[in-house]
Amino acid sequence: MHAADRTAVIAPDGTFTYRNLDEAAERVCAALADGASNLNEARVAYLVPPSFAHVAVTRGIWRAGGIAVPLAVSHPAAELEFVIRDADASIVIGDPISAAMLEPIARRAGARFALTTDLLARAGSRTFSSSSFAPDRRALIVYTSGTTGKPKGVVSTHGNLAAQIGSLIDAWAWTRDDHTLLVLPLHHVHGIVNVVGCALSSGATCEMLPAFDTEAAWERLASGEITVFTAVPTIYHRLIASWDAASAGVQRARSEGCRRARLMMSGSAALPLQTLDRWREISGHTLLERYGMTEIGMALSNPLLGERRPGSVGSPLPGVDVRLVDDAGHEIADGTAGELEVRGPGVFLEYWRRPDETRSAFRDGWFRTGDVAVVEHGAYRLLGRTSVDIIKTGGYKVSALEVEEVIRAHPAVSDCAVVGIVDPEWGERVSVAVELHARAALSLENLHAWAKARLAPYKIPRELHCMPSLPRNAMGKVLKPEVAKLMQADESGAAKSPGHS
């Protein structure tokens, strides 16, 4: 079969070949360029759930010479507006459902608004210039939380993306015979690069769920048609719980379906050993755990063939240089813990319009990840992070400082400290300790209602502890490790979201 006639995408909006994708991207490109020869790295922000339309819009933006800025479907208007303004987007794209919210934001931000349906339907084509894909051109801005309050835009060039994808195709032996299932959002690198990027660059089929759904994911895994699957530990936790609750017949069908896959992977957060073990019992697969970051793509991976070591994230991927350094930036010997630094063609270009933060993120040309690791038996094991202000929950990175800034603005709150508490389902759950103003009261429900309009659902604290005073050092700085200890000791007195053990 001709490569163009092979199936590229199976999604809620239909089944499409590579030729369909090419033609749709061309239509989007023509509509976006609107007569201009090139968008010249104009930012195009788009809120499109995982679908064929999402992929076609991304490719259309690239052909037109724009920078793709994917927006998060789960974000409230305030967070979307922050990204649209920070990226200084000149075009905002939305589907008819999100238009009522997005169009006014686009107008306020001085951007043109376009409907996905119009872009895809518009007749016309434009011969695109291959210079749109020149390796040093900016291709993508993904917003990520950091050790500073607001999220930062991580800018990757076409060259960075090609290097990230090429390295994974090589290491994980992607071929056009693969058929993967996307269950992740498309505003983060795990979904963008490891799933859609790898599948479509190797001529494989990328099937998509519009959002993760345990039963829908199981149905597709049980079919035995999926050859490559990747997810975050929280998703495996949910799949395991659903398998455990299923009848013996359903369990058997699900396990048999998994056994026909060739590769199952986990990443974005530490994979608990019990999840690894239980998944092996259920599926027959020892999950391949790998390590990555928005700024660098993937850096370390357990092997495709050979021993996958529990608790380890393996060794450097092709084309990636990794080293461990002490506080002064000196390389350290194997067996000693140090900060992980990464170098290579996949490492991002810059934080969008934040030259100072870009400069301080690098040391002698190496990107400082903020993750601490050790080399044992030739493989890397992650030990933690250099900052207490980064929380990983459900695979999402959350800045404690960003959440604190929002909660401090609550009229009942005089001060607060946000920390991540170890949680079997979420990895860490976002939790807050607050000092209230005199005679003020605050419930978790009230806090949720307040935060919902301001923060993405995964950033909202799930646990609230009211404390007469937060633990501080002599300088008045809140001692976060102490806060976490007090919270754990005070588990019974905490207000928690339903559903938490």
Residues that bind ligand MCA (CB under 6 A): 74, 184-185, 188-191, 211-212, 232, 234-235, 267-268, 292-294, 393-396, 426, 429, 457-458, 462, 497
Whether the Cβ atoms of residue 361 and residue 351 lie closer than 8 Å to each other: yes
Residue 75 interacts, among ligand MCA, ligand AMP, none and using kind-specific CB cut-offs from 5 to 8 Å, with none
Query: For the chain, what is the total number of helices (H) and then of strands (E)?
Result: 16, 27
Residue 457 interacts, among ligand MCA, ligand AMP, none and using kind-specific CB cut-offs from 5 to 8 Å, with ligand MCA
Residue 185 interacts, among ligand AMP, ligand MCA, none and using kind-specific CB cut-offs from 5 to 8 Å, with ligand MCA
Residue whose structure tokens are 């495709």: 304
Choice from 243, 291, 348, 450 touching ligand AMP (CB under 6 A): 291
Nearer to ligand MCA, 184 or 487 (CB): 184
By CB under 6 A, which span of 8-16, 55-63, 289-297, 413-421 interacts with ligand AMP? 289-297
Nearer to ligand AMP, 62 or 143 (CB): 143
Please say whether the dihedral angle defined by the alpha carbons of residues 450, 455, 458 and 460, taken in this order, is positive or negative. Answer: negative
Which long-range contacts link 250-257 to residues 24+ away (Cβ below 8 Å)? 250/222, 251/282, 253/222, 254/218, 254/221, 254/222, 254/282, 255/282, 255/283, 255/284, 256/222, 256/224, 257/221, 257/222, 257/223, 257/224, 257/226
How many Å apart are CA 15 and CA 183, to the nearest integer? 17
Nearer to ligand MCA, 30 or 231 (CB): 231
Amino acid identity for residue 321 in this structure = D
Residues numbered 355-374 forming contacts with ligand AMP, rule: CB under 6 A: 369, 371
397 near ligand AMP, rule: CB under 6 A: yes
Helix (H, G, I), strand (E, B) or coil at 104: helix
How many Å apart are CA 116 and CA 56, to the nearest integer? 10
Cα angle value 356/359/360 (rounded, 5°): 90
Choice from 92, 140, 196, 293 touching ligand AMP (CB under 6 A): 293
Residues numbered 105-134 forming contacts with ligand AMP, rule: CB under 6 A: none
Nearer to ligand AMP, 160 or 369 (CB): 369
DSSP-H helix ranges across 98-232: 99-108, 116-121, 158-172, 189, 198-201, 214-222
Residue-level length of the chain: 501
Whether the Cβ atoms of residue 444 and residue 410 lie closer than 8 Å to each other: no
194 near ligand AMP, rule: CB under 6 A: no
Residues 6+ apart with CB under 8 A from 241: 214
Helix (H, G, I), strand (E, B) or coil at 468: coil
CB of 363 to ligand AMP, least distance (A): 16
Residue 382 interacts, among ligand MCA, ligand AMP, none and using kind-specific CB cut-offs from 5 to 8 Å, with ligand AMP
Residue 313 interacts, among ligand MCA, ligand AMP, none and using kind-specific CB cut-offs from 5 to 8 Å, with ligand AMP
Choice from 98, 144, 167, 194 touching ligand AMP (CB under 6 A): 144
Residue 462 interacts, among ligand MCA, ligand AMP, none and using kind-specific CB cut-offs from 5 to 8 Å, with ligand MCA
CB of 397 to ligand AMP, least distance (A): 4
Q: Any bridge partners for residue 293, and if so which?
A: 297
Q: Which residue is nearest to ligand MCA (CB)?
A: 394
455 near ligand AMP, rule: CB under 6 A: no
CB of 142 to ligand AMP, least distance (A): 8
How many Å apart are CA 91 and CA 111, to the nearest integer? 5
294 near ligand AMP, rule: CB under 6 A: yes
Give residues in contact with ligand AMP (CB under 6 A).
Answer: 144, 189, 267-270, 289, 291-294, 313, 369, 371, 382, 385, 392, 397
